[in-house]
Amino acid sequence: MIGLKGKNALVTGATSGIGQAIAIRLAQEGCNIAINYRSDREAAVDTEKIALEKACENIENCGVKSLLVQGDVSQESDIVEMVNTVVKEFGSLDILVNNAGIQIESPSHEVTTADFDWVIAVNLRGAYLCSRETIKHLLSLNRSGVIINISSVHEIIPRPMFVSYSISKGGMENLTKTLALEYASQGIRVNAIAPGATITPINQDWIDNPEKKAMVESHIPMRRAGSSEEMAGVVAFLASNEAAYITGQTLFVDGGLSLYADFRENWSA
């Protein structure tokens, strides 16, 4: 895609699922990739290996640079250090993908304050703080850049039993729009994708169970879950110059899940 070759990208939570696919895809598009991991360095090494194998014909002489950056996005000091490290190693940071995310299931009236705060700290505050540090850096160099938030269909669809997750993604919609509006004139674009049900470790519970999987897919108009690679392709598009005039938007990548599937058939008079 136009405008990605040689750009420096940081993907948070890039050791599995959607984040891993995004790191791989951006490397294939010629970006230098910083792979953030919280604790599983081995998984980060695997991501790096796959990305470089796919991006380069000759790994010894590859145009794509890679970097592993440890950091817990619920910790402000980790985020500041992570962005500084990427800037120091790559010279600048052009593309930030806020992908790291967690969910904790519980009836809303039983959620502990600690669990609530944890989900918000990773999914929402982490995305904000990573964006804040990236924007500071871009403004200091008078440089344009791109931020992409990995939201969810639960940005707009309420999700009982996952109240903190639902709130975090609802907040992400406003984060995307607010930052997009505030920095549009300085050449910083901020967009989001909202994945529907996607085959990743976060959904292990139903992926490996044919009955549960069929149940999930029966609610999706396109009758199948999405893949991480399908999410990564849309992220690459939004990061590229093909999307140069798009900012403040959430693109739903969900097989029609957000289209009020119950209205497929007429159930009113």
Taking the complex as a whole, the smallest distance from the CB of residue 55 to ligand NAD amounts, in Å, to 20
Given the residues 165, 183, 245, 260, select the one marked as catalytic. Answer: 165
Residues 6 or more apart from 268 whose CB is under 8 A from it?
none
- Tell whether residue 145 is a contact of ligand NAD (CB under 6 A): no
Under rule CB under 6 A, residue 216 binds ligand NAD: no
How long, in residues, is the chain? 269
Nearer to ligand NAD, 139 or 202 (CB): 202
Q: Which stretch binds ligand NAD (CB under 6 A): 24-32, 105-113, 193-201, 212-220?
A: 193-201
User: Is the CB of 140 or the CB of 177 nearer to ligand NAD?
Assistant: 177
Rounded Cα–Cα distance for residues 232 and 18 (Å): 7
Do residues 169 and 151 make contact, with C-beta atoms less than 8 angstroms apart?
yes
Among 4, 8, 10, 16, binds ligand NAD (CB under 6 A): 16
Residues contacting 66, CB < 8 A, separation 6+: 27, 32, 33, 34, 35, 48, 51, 52
8 A C-beta contact, residue 98 and residue 150: yes
* Residue 100 touching ligand NAD (CB under 6 A): yes
Cβ contact 253:234 at 8 Å: yes
**CB-wise, 214 or 244, nearer to ligand NAD?**
214
If one asks whether residue 258 binds ligand NAD (CB under 6 A), the answer comes out as no
Active site annotation includes 165: yes
What spatial distance separates the first Cα and last Cα of the chain, rounded to whole Å? 48
The least CB distance from residue 63 to ligand NAD, in Å, is 26
Find the Cα–Cα–Cα–Cα dihedral 204, 205, 207, 213, rounded to 10°.
-160
Q: Of the listed pieces 25-33, 70-78, 87-95, 174-182, which binds ligand NAD according to CB under 6 A?
A: 70-78
Beta carbon of residue 200, minimum distance to ligand NAD (angstroms, whole number)? 3
Q: What does the alpha-carbon distance between residue 180 and residue 175 come to, in Å, rounded to a whole number? A: 8
Q: Which residue's CB is nearer to ligand NAD, number 12 or number 134?
A: 12
Contacts of ligand NAD in 19-48 (CB under 6 A):
19, 36, 38
Question: Can you tell me whether residue 28 is helix, strand or coil?
Answer: helix
> Binding of ligand NAD at residue 158 (CB under 6 A)?
no
Q: What are 112-121's contacts with CB under 8 Å, separation 24+? A: 115/164, 116/163, 116/164, 118/74, 119/164, 119/165, 119/168, 120/164, 120/167, 120/168, 120/171, 121/74
Closer CB to ligand NAD, 64 or 231, in the complex = 231
Rule CB under 6 A: choose which of 13, 145, 171, 255 binds ligand NAD: 13
> Under the rule (CB under 6 A), what is the footprint of ligand NAD?
12-13, 15-19, 36, 38, 72-74, 99-102, 122, 150, 152, 195, 197-198, 200-203
